[in-house]
Amino acid sequence: MTDTPDHAVPTRTTPMTRSRLLLPLDLARGFLIGMAELIPGVSGGTVALVTGLYEQLIGSASHVVSAAKALVVGGEEGTGRVAGAVAHLRRTDWWLLVPVLVGMALAVLTMAGVMSTFVTSSPEHARGLFLGMVAMSVAVPLRMLPARTRPMWADLLLVAGAAVVAWLLIGLADGGSVSDPALPVVFLAAAVAICALVVPGVSGSFFLLAVGLYTVTLDAVDSRDLTYIAVFALGAITGLASFVQLITWLLAHARRATLLVMAGFMIGSLRALWPWQQSAGGEDSAPGALVAPYAPVLGPALLVLLGAGVVLVLVVIEARAGDAVEPAGGGTEHRQHD
């Protein structure tokens, strides 16, 4: 049984009227999303959920993809190609999408080397901070659930199944590195890894670790290898354009199941973020065997609490803002709680 389409991602038919005063905040949100994509085990989609931008970004990205599709096959209901594309572009929240994309690009270009150093030189502290953040973030998709329409056991099965899948897949990332990957491989890897941007709990960085492209990709960005960056970007755009329409459809027609699977992925991803791990070789940031706490203990433990506290504050702020402000542009967000 699927959930009712009444809880769909809002379809906007009028130009957006988002306040320009939000631009600095949206730049900061994009920066955080971009930083998350650099960290193995942390999903940019998770950060987008926590900051309250997830469905707005998915909706705007879907309109951009639909505009490109209209240019190729024509608009809906027999409208011309250009007219169909323009209609979709007018529904896109550019005052949200552009600042977020700029913020993400700035994070990737300026923080790739910094985050790589932090994760590899202080792995226990880094994983502790991110463990607290992701664990608290599980509450976000659960808050967005519409009314339950099937037995509780079915919901629990979805969450558990997704958690197990994420847990097992993370174990495949052994941290081996490919020194000189072929450009077609880079293109395909980027197309798959970028899907993590729209699936909370799935880390694109961990996929790159699994295929041996994590270090080489960060080094290429840090050293401004324009050929590698261009091929990776093209693959990422291709993957995002292919996947965003699927996520939009799932949120529209199977919203509760989709959000539960997202929560399960986030729970399973905690396997990568347990601070104390015994690496089997390869990258220091790659997952290893989970072991009992060893020194340092206090620092990572405090960072777990700090990370959880930061996300809790963000969730409370986003919830209060959502209750106080109606979405602009005539759309209505449907957030129902069990």
Q: Which string of DSSP letters, residue by residue, matches 3-20? A: PPGGGPPPPP-S-----G
- How is residue 316 written in tokens? 């409370």
Instruction: Please state, in angstroms and rounded to a whole number, the distance separating the CA atoms of residues 221 and 178.
Output: 16
Instruction: Please state, in angstroms and rounded to a whole number, the distance separating the CA atoms of residues 195 and 138.
Output: 19
Which of residues 245 and 281 earns the better pLDDT score?
245
What percentage of residues in the chain have a pLDDT greater than 70? 80
- Maximum average pLDDT range among 196-205, 238-247, 276-285: 238-247
Which of residues 21 and 332 earns the better pLDDT score?
21
Instruction: Please state, in angstroms and rounded to a whole number, the distance separating the CA atoms of residues 259 and 139.
Output: 11
Task: Specify the pLDDT at position 12.
Answer: 44
Residue 285 confidence (pLDDT) above 90: no
Q: Which helix (H) or strand (E) holds 289?
A: strand 289-290
Q: Which of 305, 271, 311 is nearest to 125 (CA)?
A: 305
Confidence of residue 41 (pLDDT cuts 50, 70, 90): low
Confidence of residue 280 (pLDDT cuts 50, 70, 90): low
292 neighbors 140 (Cβ within 8 angstroms): no
Confidence of residue 162 (pLDDT cuts 50, 70, 90): very high
Average pLDDT over residues 29-41: 82
Task: Specify the pLDDT at position 257.
Answer: 93
Task: Specify the pLDDT at position 298.
Answer: 94
- The sign one gets for the Cα dihedral 298, 300, 303, 308 is negative
Residue with tokens 């986003």: 318
Average pLDDT over residues 39-55: 80
Task: Specify the pLDDT at position 234.
Answer: 92
Task: Specify the pLDDT at position 3.
Answer: 47
HSE-CB of 69 using CA atoms within 13 angstroms:
14
Residue 82 confidence (pLDDT) above 70: yes
Which runs of consecutive H residues, i.e. helices, occur in the chain?
Answer: 23-37, 44-50, 54-73, 81-90, 94-121, 123-137, 139-143, 152-170, 183-193, 204-210, 214-222, 226-253, 255-269, 298-324
HSE-CB of 335 using CA atoms within 13 angstroms:
17
Q: Find how far residue 99's CA is from the centre of its chain.
A: 17
pLDDT digits (tens, 9 = 90+) for 135-152: 988 888 888 889 888 899
Confidence of residue 297 (pLDDT cuts 50, 70, 90): very high
